């Protein structure tokens, strides 16, 4: 669903606000706020829907990092999460494949 580069500060940190160009039927901008951050270990952000998207990074060795992505919908309206859980596993898998490609470039 992400269709462009982030608009916001050059380096994200706790409390940063950033926008992503998205597409789901129609193009739109999504406002996000970084709600968790540990340098080189964790970043989580919350869009207006109030669900939290989180990436966790674990260095396995000097050249390999395990990345875990998950979505936490406990703070979001249940009606939104019903729909989101239907498409998010496939979207998350695609985003991890794309992240791997970017990291290997």
Going by pLDDT thresholds of 50, 70 and 90, the confidence category of residue 2 is low
Threshold 0.75, pTM exceeds: yes
Cα–Cα separations (whole angstroms), residue 6 to 24, 32, 64, 101, 102: 17, 10, 25, 18, 15
Going by pLDDT thresholds of 50, 70 and 90, the confidence category of residue 38 is very high
Closest to 48 in 3D by CA, of 34, 36, 35, 33: 33
Outline where DSSP puts E strands in the chain: 17-24, 26-38, 42-47, 52-61, 64-72
Going by pLDDT thresholds of 50, 70 and 90, the confidence category of residue 77 is confident
Contact criterion met (CB below 8 Å) for 24 and 1: yes
Per the model's pLDDT, the better-predicted residue between 16 and 73 turns out to be 16
Q: What is the mean pLDDT of residues 68-97?
A: 75
């Amino acid at each position: 669903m992400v269709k462009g580069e982030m608009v916001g500060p050059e380096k994200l940190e706790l409390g940063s606000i950033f926008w992503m160009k998205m597409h789901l039927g129609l193009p739109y901008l999504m406002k996000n706020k970084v709600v968790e951050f540990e340098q080189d270990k964790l970043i989580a952000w919350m869009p207006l829907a109030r669900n939290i998207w989180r990436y966790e990074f674990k260095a396995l060795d000097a050249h390999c990092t395990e990345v875990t992505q998950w979505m936490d919908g406990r703070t979001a309206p249940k009606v939104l999460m019903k729909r989101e859980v239907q498409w998010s596993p496939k979207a998350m898998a695609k985003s991890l494949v794309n992240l791997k490609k970017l990291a290997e470039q």
